[in-house]
């Protein structure tokens, strides 16, 4: 009985093609196009330099944190062993 109703419901839904499903998803997702400000090449170079400098600082902080963690771990192990 249940399988008959499932088959009936399945026949009511109809087949969706991939293209139609894709269009449906894009239309209902509510995505909007982004608009970026136009900047001069000099300003763009400044922005790139700032981003690269920030990234370099972030990497240095990460390395310092890892080295500190290793040193602290070694000191704790040495303290516990001796």
Domain tally, the chain: 1
Question: How far apart (Å, rounded) are the C-alpha atoms in residues 5 and 1?
Answer: 7
78 pLDDT more than 60 = yes
24 pLDDT more than 70 = no
| pLDDT tens digits, 28-77 | 556 667 788 899 999 999 999 999 999 999 999 999 999 999 999 999 99
Question: How far apart (Å, rounded) are the C-alpha atoms in residues 5 and 9?
Answer: 6
Domain encompassing residue 22:
2-28+39-81
Say if 33 falls within a structural domain: no
Say if 34 falls within a structural domain: no
Say if 55 falls within a structural domain: yes
Three-state DSSP class for 67? helix
- Write the burial class of residue 36 (CB in 10 Å: 0-12 exposed, 13-18 middle, 19+ buried): exposed
């Amino acid at each position: 009985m249940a399988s008959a109703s499932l088959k009936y419901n399945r026949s009511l839904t109809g087949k969706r093609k991939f293209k139609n499903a894709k269009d449906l998803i894009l239309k209902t997702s509510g995505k909007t196009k982004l608009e970026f400000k136009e900047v001069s090449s000099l300003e763009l170079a400044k922005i790139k330099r700032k981003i690269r400098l920030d990234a370099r600082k972030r990497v240095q902080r990460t390395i310092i944190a890892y080295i500190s963690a290793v040193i602290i771990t070694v000191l704790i192990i040495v303290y516990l062993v001796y």
